[in-house]
Amino acid sequence: MSMTIDKSGRIARLVQFSRTPSRNHIAFVTQCDDDFCFVDVGLALSMKIEDILSDRRLSLKAQDYLNDLLNTNVFDSNVIGPYLAIKNIGILFEPQLHIDIEALFNKWSQNIFLIVDMGRGSIAQDKFFLGQQTDHYSVDLHELNYIVLK
């Protein structure tokens, strides 16, 4: 479901969605709300791995850095409870890092609310596309409960 709504309307939809009985709660947003603390995954992760790009254990180390980054950026909201808000997620699609983004979305949306800034991405037919609608940079959302807020 996609619609353009004002800030208070987006918050109301997040609250309503957070109360639905579901294993996952993911909100894809087209703009970072100042009500939530977004972590810039691309910037933070690239800074951590820039010196180890030729390391044969790059993907393992990147996964460890990513888990640490996400664990330290879970916040509590008085309207939706615990949440993780992420932006600039293009780095997660880098083939060298071998990150299973679908599993990451699933894991991080089970016990907390996951808010993903779509950037220039889009959602069509239960797939999140990082940019243009190609399968190469997409995440299957069929098994995940999500909303899109514009």
Identify the H or E element spanning 75: strand 74-77
- The DSSP line for 111-139 is SSEEEEE-TT-EEETTEEESSSS-GGGEE
pLDDT at 5: 56
What residue ranges of the chain have pLDDT lower than 50? 1-3
In a domain, 86, yes or no: yes
How many helices and strands (H and E) does the chain possess?
4, 9
In a domain, 25, yes or no: yes
In a domain, 1, yes or no: no
The pTM assigned to this predicted structure is 0.91
**Domains: count for the chain:** 1
pLDDT at 2: 44
pLDDT at 64: 96
Report how far residue 104's alpha carbon sits from residue 67's, in angstroms, rounded to the nearest whole number: 9
Q: Where are the alpha helices (DSSP H) in 37-81?
A: 41-49, 58-71
In a domain, 2, yes or no: no
Report how far residue 98's alpha carbon sits from residue 111's, in angstroms, rounded to the nearest whole number: 24
* Residues in CB range of 9: below 8 A, 6 or more apart: none
Domain containing residue 51? 7-149
